[in-house]
Amino acid sequence: MFPHFIVQGGKWLEGETRINGAKNAALKSMAASLLFKDKLVIENIPLVEDIKRMSELLENLGADIKIEGKTMIINPEKVGGKDIDPEIAKKIRASVVLTGPILAREKEVFFPHPGGCVIGKRPIDFFIEGWSAMGANIEETKSGYRIESQHMRGAEIVFKNISVTATETLMMTAVLAKGKTILKNAACEPEIPALAEFLNQCGASIKGAGTHTIEIEGTEGTLLESRGKAIKTIPDRIETGSFLVLGSLLGKPIKITECSPEDIAVPIAILEQAGVEIEKGGDWLRVTAAKRLKSVDIKTKEYPGFPTDLQSPFAVLMTQAEGECMVFETVFEGRLNYVEDLNRMGATITTCDPHRVLVRGKTELRGREIESPDIRAGLAFLIAAMTAKGESKVGNIYQIDRGYERIEERLNALGASIQRVKS
């Protein structure tokens, strides 16, 4: 049975919604559990499909996992597995972050070519070059990579391009290595310092997380100890931004709680430039649908710039703005593949090249049948369907479920009309 959403468009949204823990932060905390000798408690876990897949991968390696409400308890005591299950890994790109902790803990790891969203090239050479510099032997096969090192040592690693996942993975590898590792041109996303701060509380020595240079003094194989301390997952800034887009289109108003406005300062500034009224508090935002939306150019960039994960929802927003704007995707070359589906709904979007499109507004969107190509474009399609006139069918909603917990229930509580149907 393949579930889909039936969406009745044009419903105003009003009320309050709480932001869940960040999927991308929780996944990295789960991988970091392999650096510990005792139980790791992770609070504010989002109950999404990617979290389930990561749990399956960890259990396959020997970890014991329990979930109590929004709290996950991981006991790595019996971990001994060295191979990442390829059938599970092909469903989740973040499986690659397990390789660093497994290699550091077990001295050997096999990981398959990772799966997840089809949104363009995500080079694996950053990881390979980093582990090689740290003393690992690497063998590539048709199905993946076998990496082995009995003595991981610190090294200076310079990323040719900023990579969030490579920064996180090599940072975790370095925690148990011998000597100092320096990561240059590292990513600065909020999830990275949040993880580093907790690891430092448990025996790691990481400096500079949240800047472009991170220094890690390794423990020479000594596992970390949580000693009852819990890591609390930070709020999901991508979910926050997505609800802001919804509120900009349909809010009467919407209050967004338990979020971190400072983590999405650039998207907020762009929304305000487009004419959206946003009230801000320390951990909340209130957004009202703009009476008149103005077109604003969007250019994705690594943090603290405009996040690539919010590019497709903002493109939907711009179809309802007056004027013409350019959406410039600089991070992934395959992330504009959703454009033709929006055009079939009535949008006027012209592709300039694989990285740039022109959006002309204001156009009336009409309900139709669409398929979610990836997590973020899937939610963008849901936003488009809620904005459109008439009924839409949104398929392949597993992609949406990978990143957004019970999204239809939360939106219906605000006034939307979304039905999950199995066919």
Beta bridge partners of 410: none
Alpha helices, DSSP H, located in 345-374: none
137 is in an annotated binding site: no
pLDDT of residue 315: 98
Q: Is 18 within any annotated ligand binding site? A: no
Cα distances from 90 to residues 57, 80, 179, 330, in angstroms, run 11, 22, 34, 25
- The response to whether 75 counts as a known ligand-binding position is no
Is 23 marked as binding a ligand?
yes
* Residue 69 three-state SS: coil
Sequential pLDDT tens for the chain (423 residues): 689 999 999 999 999 999 999 999 999 999 999 999 999 999 999 999 999 999 999 999 999 999 999 999 999 999 999 999 999 998 888 899 999 999 999 999 998 876 544 434 446 888 999 999 999 999 988 888 999 999 999 999 999 999 999 999 999 999 999 999 999 999 999 999 999 999 999 999 999 999 999 999 999 999 999 999 999 999 999 999 999 999 999 999 999 999 999 999 999 999 999 999 999 999 999 999 999 999 999 999 999 999 999 999 999 999 999 999 999 999 987 889 999 999 999 999 999 999 999 999 999 999 999 999 999 999 999 999 999 999 999 999 999 999 999 999 999 999 999 999 997
Regarding whether 281 and 133 lie in a shared domain, the answer is no
- Alpha-carbon span 57 to 218, nearest angstrom: 26
| Whether 95 and 216 share a structural domain | yes
Same domain, 9 and 39: no
Phi, psi of 279 (to 5 degrees): -95, 145
What pLDDT score was predicted for residue 398?
Answer: 95
Q: What is the pLDDT of residue 114?
A: 62
Q: Let me know whether 304 and 285 are in one domain.
A: yes
Give 280's strand partners: 285
287 and 226 together in one domain: no
Q: Same domain, yes or no, for 142 and 286?
A: no
Range of the domain at 141: 23-232
> How far is Cα 62 from Cα 60, in angstroms, rounded to an integer?
5
Whether 12 and 111 map to the same domain: the answer is no
203 lies in the same domain as 303: no
Give phi and psi for 300, each to the nearest 5: -75, 150
Asked which of 173, 197, 232 is the last residue of a domain, the reply is 232
What pLDDT shows up at residue 388? 98
Q: How many CB atoms lie within 10 A of CB 127?
A: 23
pLDDT of the residue at 121: 47
The residue with tokens 């907790």 is 198
117 in catalytic set: yes
Q: What is the CATH number of the domain that holds 151?
A: 3.65.10.10
Q: Is 184 annotated as a binding residue?
A: no
Which of 324, 310, 317 is CA-nearest to residue 357?
Answer: 324
Q: What is the pLDDT of residue 123?
A: 64
Examine the domain organization and report whether 94 and 184 are in the same domain. Answer: yes
Same domain, 34 and 13: no
CA distance 57 to 98: 9
Instruction: State how many domains the chain has.
Output: 2
Active-site residue, from 117, 188, 259, 325: 117
Q: Which of 216, 232, 248 is the last residue of a domain?
A: 232
pLDDT at residue 17 in the model: 98
30 shares a domain with 14: no
Q: Are residues 304 and 222 in the same domain?
A: no
Report the SS3 class of residue 261: helix
Which of the listed residues 171, 197, 232 is the one where a domain comes to its end?
232
